[in-house]
């Protein structure tokens, strides 16, 4: 099963573990394949470097770069598909959809209401982390 994690889900997985972290654990175990793209990875790198996450990183003894490098090494990199503008209320979310389409993902996992409200995109289900975990049977 192929998944695309949006940036907020990836950050949550990497910094707080919880349900999103179990999706990353499933990828580490080889149960699922996480896919990403250069634009999504660039966004993740920028977000992890924000000062508001410094304390959480320090508490885990990690640098933003180390955390990013580990995630980047885990994912399968795809070139985003060209898509028509889809998320009118937050056009930046289109990079998630473009990645998912290019990856032929089974699911996009997101906590973003703009994406979740779509429910589907070209046959790809958009679900929250709890539902994503349920669907992979973990």
pLDDT by residue (tens digit) across 33-47?
A: 999 999 999 999 999
Distance CA 4, CA 45 (A): 16
* Contact by Cβ (8 Å): 109, 129: yes
Band of pLDDT at residue 91, cut at 50, 70 and 90: confident
* Contact by Cβ (8 Å): 24, 34: yes
Residue 138 has what pLDDT? 54
51-68 as b/e: b if 16+ CB within 10 A? eebeeebeeeebebeebb
CATH hierarchy code of domain 2-136: 3.40.50.1010
Domain ranges of the chain: 2-136
């Amino acid at each position: 099963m192929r998944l695309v994690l949006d940036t907020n889900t990836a950050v949550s997985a990497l910094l707080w573990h919880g349900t999103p972290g179990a999706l990353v654990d499933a990828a580490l175990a080889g149960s699922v394949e996480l896919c990403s793209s250069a634009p999504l990875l660039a966004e993740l790198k920028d977000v992890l470097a924000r000062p508001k996450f410094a304390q959480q990183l320090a508490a885990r003894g990690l640098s933003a770069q180390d955390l990013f490098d580990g995630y980047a090494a885990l994912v399968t990199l795809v070139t985003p598909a060209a898509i028509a503008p889809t998320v009118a209320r937050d056009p930046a979310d289109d990079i998630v959809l473009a990645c998912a389409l290019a990856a032929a993902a089974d699911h996009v996992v997101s906590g973003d209401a703009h994406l979740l409200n779509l429910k589907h995109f070209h046959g790809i289900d958009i679900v929250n982390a709890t539902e994503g975990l349920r669907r992979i049977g973990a």
